[in-house]
């Protein structure tokens, strides 16, 4: 048979599972939304178990129908199609049986997590043996694993557990009360928002949660479960943040082992599990900030007006979810200014485009603050300040000690020390606090979860090693790496500097233990993951004879640390889920 006689397989001739997988990969946000929507059956305290079972039966019947028609249509194609069809039917049957028995399991989240991870590991081994495990497939497996552990987290902890500033529906305060206010009052607060705990925050997340709760109530969900499922929204935000991080890494030139390493660091950072289960506004704002970063990279490459509008919407919505979303703006402003002066012959085009940007971004970002300022004289940058009489006040610790004290006793416990939670002392070093809270937040300590003893320190120190390697990779990239352009280096440098600087300013201005939390600087995780991945890529790809062995060894060791960090992250939180 000659080359011209070889038949090219058309997309509609491909096995249906392959076509479905390709569609899911091309539409990751829609796939994530569908997965999170399906998860409501697992997070609704049994109310939708029957519905879930019915959906499974329907899916099974559809698979059987598709399988039988496939056999009849493609019998002449050989055993390959019949085998794929048989696998489709078997998969449907196993899924049905699995979901049925899930109803009788005491902690179904552990079964889902362990079975899912086992299947992903088997898929990775199969692809590796077939020499088909490239970075795209590896990242897909990592993202699915990240989704599973996030799902297990929200199935373990309710909206009243492990939360920040949650408040209650009964008292109508905190973030839960804020959502309930929209559900029951169906209007913006008609009072000075400083008088109710947490109501000063911009309301985008709370309005979206209100709509989601109402939709559930329309379909017969009881009130408690409807509010409980607000975690489905934050699960969705945390899931698409993994996808946005991957896209950012791709735009910045990561590939191969470097890409896989960076995605693993971001996907398995426990801060994203915790924020994915927190019903406050942090995760939505972070997601829009990552969207703004990604679209800035797209716009710099294409200069397409649509991308500029995407940046405007992302920045505006990040600030409409939480005012600190502004912190991506300085870096974006640099890119705008650079393009403006570099392409001076098109100044008029950029003038009207930037005017359109402001016309979209500014109202979205500031309408809430301006409204409250005009009506109730609330300062534009108002932030709730805790009392100096609080048991978590650390303003009496000298500033130099807070900044530069890294004595060994601060690392005897991997979890953040909080006197009100029986800690040995109040954590006072912002850098130590940011590492501890990124791994364990405030309450996941050995005192409450003795099963994590030993594993918690491995997780913390592996994260510190990765962060230090990422910082070294950043310095090397900025000085020596010519593959990354000046604009990209400066853009990333400004992002890193702004988030770190204002995290420290925030910690010193509001000297309480709770301000030393990674949730105020989460994009640093994504930036750190990128530079750690770039360090792996640069070291393993080093071609200089004099240092090739040293670099290769360093790259392998850093990769090993990332593998330990990723596996240990899952192990620690599975032990936490067990209780």
Residue 83 inside a domain? The answer is: no
CA angle 441, 444, 446 (to 5 degrees): 135
Instruction: Please tell me whether residues 350 and 458 are part of one structural domain.
Output: no
Tell me what the mean pLDDT of segment 28-37 comes to.
Answer: 86
Q: Judge contact between 217 and 189, C-beta under 8 A.
A: no
Instruction: Please tell me whether residues 265 and 347 are part of one structural domain.
Output: no
Q: Which of 271, 301, 331 is the last residue of a domain?
A: 271
CA distance 309 to 311: 5
Instruction: Please tell me whether residues 380 and 408 are part of one structural domain.
Output: no
User: Which residues make Cβ contacts (< 8 Å) with residue 525, sequence separation at least 6?
Assistant: 265, 266, 269, 271, 272, 438, 518
Residue 57 inside a domain? The answer is: no
Tell me what the mean pLDDT of segment 387-402 comes to.
Answer: 92
Tell me what the mean pLDDT of segment 315-334 comes to.
Answer: 97
pLDDT at 5: 44
Residue 98 inside a domain? The answer is: no
Is 203 in a helix, a strand, or coil? coil
Instruction: Please tell me whether residues 314 and 421 are part of one structural domain.
Output: no
pLDDT at 1: 42
CA distance 205 to 319: 11
- In terms of Cα–Cα distance, which of 537, 560, 400, 561 is closest to 467? 561
Q: Judge contact between 153 and 276, C-beta under 8 A.
A: yes
pLDDT at 490: 97
Residue 71 inside a domain? The answer is: no
Token readout for 104 is 């009788």
108 HSE (CA, 13 A, CB side): 19
- C-alpha distances out from residue 189 to 182, 198, 280, 443, Å: 8, 12, 17, 32
pLDDT at 435: 96
- Compute the radius of gyration of the chain from its Cα atoms: 25
Phi/psi class of residue 336: alpha, beta or left (left: φ > 0; alpha: ψ in -120 to 50)?
Answer: alpha
Q: Which of 384, 405, 424 is the last residue of a domain?
A: 384
pLDDT at 503: 97
Instruction: Please tell me whether residues 323 and 472 are part of one structural domain.
Output: no
Residue 574 inside a domain? The answer is: yes
pLDDT at 123: 86
pLDDT at 500: 97
The string of DSSP letters for 364-421 reads HHHHHHHHHHHHH---TT------TTSTTB-TTS-HHHHHH---GGGGSSSSPP-GGG
pLDDT at 185: 93
Using 50, 70 and 90 to split pLDDT, how confident is the model at 65?
A: low
Q: Is residue 277's pLDDT more than 50? A: yes
Q: Is residue 69's pLDDT more than 90? A: no
Tell me what the mean pLDDT of segment 63-83 comes to.
Answer: 52
Quick one: three-class SS letters along 418-451? CHHHCCCCCCCCHHHHHHHHHHHCCCCCCCCCHH
pLDDT, tens digit, 9 for 90 and up, residues 161-208: 999 999 999 999 999 999 999 999 999 999 999 999 999 999 999 999
Residue with the larger pLDDT of the pair 535 and 110: 535
Token readout for 574 is 């599975």
For 579, the domain range is 395-579
pLDDT, tens digit, 9 for 90 and up, residues 282-308: 999 999 999 999 999 999 999 999 999
Mean pLDDT check: name the lowest of 137-146, 178-187, 245-254, 546-555.
Answer: 546-555
Q: What percent of the chain has pLDDT over 90?
A: 66
CA distance 326 to 322: 9
φ, ψ for residue 393 (rounded to 5)? -70, 130
Using 50, 70 and 90 to split pLDDT, how confident is the model at 98?
A: low
Tell me what the mean pLDDT of segment 132-153 comes to.
Answer: 93
Q: Judge contact between 551 and 542, C-beta under 8 A.
A: yes
Mean pLDDT check: name the lowest of 23-37, 229-243, 351-365.
Answer: 23-37
CA distance 357 to 64: 51
Token readout for 9 is 């397989």
Instruction: Please tell me whether residues 428 and 524 are part of one structural domain.
Output: yes
Tell me what the mean pLDDT of segment 232-244 comes to.
Answer: 96
Number of domains in the chain: 3
Q: Which of 384, 412, 432 is the last residue of a domain?
A: 384
pLDDT at 64: 54
Instruction: Please tell me whether residues 307 and 425 are part of one structural domain.
Output: no
Residue 81 inside a domain? The answer is: no
Residue 504 inside a domain? The answer is: yes
Residue with the larger pLDDT of the pair 42 and 133: 133
Q: Is residue 460's pLDDT more than 70? A: yes
Instruction: Please tell me whether residues 493 and 344 are part of one structural domain.
Output: no
Instruction: Please tell me whether residues 474 and 529 are part of one structural domain.
Output: yes
CA distance 139 to 127: 13
CA distance 149 to 270: 9
pLDDT at 242: 96
pLDDT at 312: 97
Tell me what the mean pLDDT of segment 357-363 comes to.
Answer: 96
Instruction: Please tell me whether residues 306 and 425 are part of one structural domain.
Output: no
Residue with the larger pLDDT of the pair 126 and 24: 126
Residue 266 inside a domain? The answer is: yes
Q: Tell me whether residue 120 is exposed, middle or buried, using C-beta atoms within 10 angstroms of its C-beta: 0 to 12, 13 to 18, 19 or more.
A: middle
Q: Is residue 155's pLDDT more than 80? A: yes
Helices (H), 481-547: 486-509, 523-540
CA distance 318 to 286: 7
pLDDT, tens digit, 9 for 90 and up, residues 514-568: 999 999 999 999 999 999 999 999 999 887 877 888 899 999 999 999 999 999 9
CA distance 201 to 419: 27
Q: Is residue 71's pLDDT more than 80? A: no
Instruction: Please tell me whether residues 332 and 432 are part of one structural domain.
Output: no
Mean pLDDT of the chain: 87
Tell me what the mean pLDDT of segment 10-34 comes to.
Answer: 66
Instruction: Please tell me whether residues 461 and 531 are part of one structural domain.
Output: yes
Using 50, 70 and 90 to split pLDDT, how confident is the model at 9?
A: very low
């Amino acid at each position: 048979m000659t080359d011209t006689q070889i038949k090219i397989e058309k997309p509609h001739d491909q096995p249906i599972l392959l076509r479905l997988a390709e569609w899911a990969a091309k539409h990751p946000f829609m796939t994530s939304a569908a997965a999170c929507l399906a998860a409501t059956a697992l997070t609704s305290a049994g109310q939708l178990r029957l519905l879930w079972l019915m959906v499974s039966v329907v899916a099974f019947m559809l698979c059987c129908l598709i399988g039988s028609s496939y056999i009849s249509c493609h019998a002449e194609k050989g055993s390959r199609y019949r085998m794929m069809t048989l696998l489709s039917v078997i998969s449907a049957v196993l899924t049905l049986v699995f979901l049925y028995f899930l109803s009788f399991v005491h902690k179904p989240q552990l079964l889902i997590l362990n079975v899912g991870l086992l299947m992903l590991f088997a898929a990775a081994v199969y692809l590796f043996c077939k020499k088909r495990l490239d970075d795209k497939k590896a990242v897909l497996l990592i993202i699915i694993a990240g989704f599973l552990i996030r799902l297990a987290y929200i199935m373990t902890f309710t909206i009243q557990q492990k939360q920040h500033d949650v408040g209650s529906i009964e008292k109508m305060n905190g973030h839960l009360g804020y959502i309930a206010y929209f559900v029951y009052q169906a209007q913006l607060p008609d009072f000075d928002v400083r008088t109710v705990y947490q109501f000063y925050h911009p309301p985008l997340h709370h309005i979206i949660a209100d709509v989601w709760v109402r939709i559930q109530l329309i379909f017969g969900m009881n009130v408690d479960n409807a509010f409980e499922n607000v975690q489905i929204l934050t699960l969705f935000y945390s899931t698409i943040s993994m996808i946005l991080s991957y896209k950012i890494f791709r735009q910045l030139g990561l590939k191969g082992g470097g890409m896989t390493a960076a995605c693993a660091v971001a996907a398995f950072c426990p801060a994203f599990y915790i924020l994915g289960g927190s019903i406050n506004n942090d995760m939505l704002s972070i997601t829009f900030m990552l969207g703004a970063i990604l679209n800035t990279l797209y716009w710099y490459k294409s200069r397409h007006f649509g991308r500029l509008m995407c940046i405007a919407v992302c920045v505006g919505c990040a600030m409409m979810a939480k005012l600190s979303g502004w912190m991506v703006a300085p870096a974006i402003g640099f890119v705008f200014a650079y393009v403006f002066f570099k392409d001076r012959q098109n100044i008029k085009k950029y003038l009207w485009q930037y005017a359109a940007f402001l016309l979209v971004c500014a109202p979205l970002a500031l309408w809430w603050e301006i409204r409250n300022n005009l009506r109730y004289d609330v300062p534009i940058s108002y932030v709730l300040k805790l009392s100096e009489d609080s048991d978590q006040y650390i303003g009496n610790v000298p500033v130099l000690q807070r900044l530069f004290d890294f004595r060994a006793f601060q690392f005897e416990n991997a979890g953040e020390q909080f006197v009100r939670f029986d800690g040995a002392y109040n954590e006072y070093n912002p850098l130590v606090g940011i590492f501890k809270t990124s791994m364990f937040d405030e309450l996941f300590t050995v005192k409450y979860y003795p099963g994590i003893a030993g594993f918690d320190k491995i997780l913390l120190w592996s994260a510190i090693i990765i962060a230090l390697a990422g910082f070294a990779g950043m310095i090397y990239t900025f000085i020596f790496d010519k593959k990354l352009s000046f604009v990209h280096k400066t853009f990333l440098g400004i992002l890193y500097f702004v988030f770190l600087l204002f995290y420290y300013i925030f910690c010193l201005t509001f000297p309480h233990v709770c301000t030393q939390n990674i949730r105020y600087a989460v994009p640093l995780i994504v930036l750190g993951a990128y530079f750690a991945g770039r360090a792996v890529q640069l070291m393993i790809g080093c071609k200089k004879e004099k240092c090739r062995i040293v670099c290769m060894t360093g790259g392998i060791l850093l990769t090993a640390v990332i593998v330990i960090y990723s596996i240990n992250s899952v192990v620690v939180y599975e032990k936490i889920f067990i209780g």
